[in-house]
Amino acid sequence: MRIAQRFTAFCFTAALGLLPVISLGGVGEGQELYEAYCVVCHGGLGEGQTMGKPLTDSMANRLSDEGLIGVITNGRSGTGMASWGGTFKEQEILDIASYVRMLQGKPGLSLAEDNAAGNANDPAVLAGKSLFEGVAGCVTCHSYKDQGGAVGPALDGIGSRLSDAALQEALLNPSASIASGYAAKEVEQQDGTVIRGRFRNDSALAIQLQSEDGKRWVTYFKDRVKAVRDTDESLMPDVFATLSAAQQQQLMAFLKSL
């Protein structure tokens, strides 16, 4: 069956609540699948469309191979990215992911290298990951492998970008150096309430902040508030200093593994 015919059959059976078993063979299988199912949202060259984000930008390039495969398989909650794990076989998902890597100018997947380089079974790393995603609350604002919040910078590769001393300083004194694009502003409302958030957009009439929990982008009209101020204080709370020495070492181990 030709790709176009297969796609039509898929749409019809999907509408009935049935999913066909897809099996394409031969060279370029990943490209054929991408062009049949992914191009409508992500563009022929991965440039992105109205319904889908670019696959060649810095965020997509930072995504690990395992993360990329996970997004294709499980989708992304809160976005238009659907889960394809029930539609494609494992090998077909690997083929699509490999083609996406080619669109990014990379030779393909390197899962063996990723697994060899990782420290996923290190007890300190596992404990640090639990802290990051749990009581420390880091995942609320920061992401890794395309998972987590967007109030703070993505942390993929942070272990190779910062020395141990620089990483510890960033954790202990987050206001000492604020990453470009992640500055905060304060809006003082007429009743004196002060709201802080990540600065996103500004105009002559209004300012837009991302809430500290990252869940909302809120617009404030300047003629309806008392003041809008810059602030040198980071939105990152001083959580690291409240951890025990052992917990600090565990969180450091996890961040260095990214």
Determine how many CB atoms are found less than 10 A away from the CB of residue 192. Answer: 7
pLDDT of residue 253: 92
Better pLDDT: 215 or 173:
173
Choosing from 74, 99, 114, the residue where a domain stops is 114
Check whether 51 has a pLDDT greater than 90.
Answer: no
Q: Does 99 lie in the same domain as 9?
A: yes
Q: Does 41 lie in the same domain as 158?
A: no
Within a domain: residue 123?
yes
pLDDT of residue 178: 85
Q: Does 167 lie in the same domain as 79?
A: no
Q: How far apart are CA 168 and CA 192, in angstroms?
A: 36
User: Which of 143, 60, 154 lies closest to 52, judged by CA?
Assistant: 60
Within a domain: residue 179?
no
Q: Does 244 lie in the same domain as 130?
A: yes
Within a domain: residue 82?
yes
Check whether 234 has a pLDDT greater than 80.
Answer: yes
Lowest model confidence (mean pLDDT) among 21-25, 59-63, 152-156: 21-25
Average model confidence (pLDDT) for the chain? Answer: 81
Please give the share of the chain, as a percent, with pLDDT higher than 70: 83
Three-class secondary structure of residue 210 per DSSP: strand
- Write the DSSP string, 125-146: HHHHHHHHHTTT-GGGT-EETT
Check whether 76 has a pLDDT greater than 80.
Answer: no
pLDDT in tens, 6-41: 333 433 333 333 433 333 332 268 888 989 999 999
- The answer for residues whose C-beta is within 8 angstroms of residue 7's C-beta and 6 or more apart is 36, 37
pLDDT of residue 10: 36
Contact 30, 22 (CB under 8 A): no
Contact 202, 188 (CB under 8 A): no
Q: Does 141 lie in the same domain as 54?
A: no
Q: Does 170 lie in the same domain as 244?
A: yes
Better pLDDT: 151 or 187:
187
Better pLDDT: 67 or 42:
42
Domain that holds residue 16: 3-114
Q: How far apart are CA 65 and CA 79, in angstroms?
A: 20
Average pLDDT over residues 31-53: 90
Within a domain: residue 65?
yes
Q: Does 201 lie in the same domain as 108?
A: no
Within a domain: residue 247?
yes
Q: Does 151 lie in the same domain as 31?
A: no
Q: How far apart are CA 67 and CA 170, in angstroms?
A: 26
Task: Supply the CATH number for residue 77's domain.
Answer: 1.10.760.10
Q: Does 124 lie in the same domain as 252?
A: yes
Residue with tokens 């290190």: 122
Q: Does 8 lie in the same domain as 107?
A: yes
Check whether 221 has a pLDDT greater than 80.
Answer: yes
Task: Look at the chain and report how many structural domains it folds into.
Answer: 3
Q: Does 153 lie in the same domain as 51?
A: no
Within a domain: residue 202?
yes
Tell if the pTM clears 0.85, that is, is over it: no
pLDDT of residue 247: 93
Task: Supply the CATH number for residue 213's domain.
Answer: 2.30.30.100
Q: Does 201 lie in the same domain as 98?
A: no
